Amino acid sequence: MSCVVYKLGDDVSTDTLYPGRFMATVLPSETVQYAFADDGEFNARLQKKEIAPGSVITAGSNFGCGSSREQAASCLAGYGLVILAKSFARIFLQNAVNLGLKTLAVPDLEAEPGDELEIRNDRVINRRTGKEFPVLPLPPARQAVVDAGGLIPYTKKRLLEKAVSSH
C-alpha cells in the first residue's frame, strides 16, 4: 500500500518540482534538498524524512512540463517517491525513466491526500473508494530501465550479462 501525500493539478512545471534558481546544483545527492522548494511545508516534510519512500504524489495532465532539467526528476527519485499522473510531459518522462523514478500514467485516477493506494502494473486501486483505475504501461524496454533503477544500473547489468554469456 502506498499513501497519497501530495496532490497537484494539471501542467505542473519542472520549476515547481525543482526551481530554476538551484540549477547550479546537479548532483542527485544534493538536488533532493530543493524538491518543491517553493512549498516550504512540503519541502520541510521531505527533508525531515516524514514522508516514507514509496509515498505517492498525484497530478493531472502534463506533469513535468517546461524545462528539460533532469534535476526535476532526480530530486523526486532521491526520496523514492512514486508519481501518478494523468499524463507526463515527454522530456520529464524520459528523464524519470533514465533515473529510475517510478511514474505511472493513470488517466482516470481519483485520489486525495491520505488515500491508500494499491499500485499494480495494470491498475491502481483506491482503498478508500474501492475504485480501480487502469494504468497506461510504459513500453517494455523503458519499464526494464525503471525496474533496474535507471539507465546507468540497467546498462551495467546488461554489460555484465553480456560479459558472462561470452565466456
Whether residue 92 contacts residue 64, with contact meaning beta carbons closer than 8 Å, is answered with yes
- 119 part of a folded domain: yes
What pLDDT does 130 receive? 97
- 112 part of a folded domain: yes
Of 72, 124, 136, the C-alpha closest to 101 is 72
The DSSP H or E segment spanning 4 is strand 2-7
pLDDT at 167 over 80: no
- 64 part of a folded domain: yes
The mean pLDDT of 20-31, rounded to a whole number, is 85
- 151 part of a folded domain: no
For 101-142, the pLDDT digits (tens) are: 999 999 999 999 999 999 998 999 999 999 999 999 999 999
pTM: 0.93
CATH number of the domain within which 131 lies: 3.20.19.10
Q: In which domain, by residue range, is 90 found? A: 2-136
Structural domain count of the chain: 1
Could you give the CA distance from residue 97 to residue 132 in angstroms, rounded to a whole number?
Answer: 25
- 122 part of a folded domain: yes
Percent of the chain with pLDDT over 90: 87
What pLDDT does 10 receive? 98
- Residue that has been written with the C-alpha cell 499494480 in this structure: 120
The DSSP H or E segment spanning 92 is helix 90-99
- 58 part of a folded domain: yes
Query: 68 φ, ψ to 5°?
Result: -85, 15
- 149 part of a folded domain: no
- 66 part of a folded domain: yes
